[in-house]
Chains A and B, each alone.
Chain A
Amino acid sequence: MAYEEIINGLNLKDTELRLGLPGTEEEEQQQLQEVSCVRSNKRQFHETTDEHNLKEESSPPAKTQIVGWPPVRSNRKNNNKNVSYMKVSMDGAPYLRKIDLKMYKNYSELLKALENMFKFTIGEYSEREGYKGSGFVPTYEDKDGDWMLVGDVPWDMFSSSCQKLRIMKRSEAPPAS
Chain B
Amino acid sequence: MSRARGDEEEYWHSSKFRAFTFDDEDDELSQLKESKRAVNSLRDIVDDDDDDLERVSWSGEPVGSISWSIKETSSSSTSSLEGRDSSLQKGSSSYAAFPKQVSSYSLSSLFKGRNKLPSFQSLSDALSDTGVKNYAPELRRPKAEYKDYSSDWSPKDTVRRMQRGKICSLERFRSLQDKLVLLDEAVAGHDGNVITAVLIFLKRTLRREILFRELEVRQVALCHLIHFLKETGEQKLLLDLLRFLDRTEEVALSQYREHLNIQDVEKRREFLKGCIGLPFSAEDTSHIQDHYTLLERQIIIEANDRHLESAGQSEIFRKYPRKASILNMPLVTTLFYSCFYHYTEAEGTFSSPTNLKKTFKIPDKQYVLTALAARAKLRAWDDVDALFTTKNWLGYTKKKAPIGFHRVVEILQRNNAPVQVLQEYVRLVEDVETRLNLATKYKCHDVVIETYRDLKDRIQLTAYKCKVERGSADEEKINSILNNMQIRWKN
A binds B: no
Q: Which residues of B pack against A, CB within 8 Å?
A: none
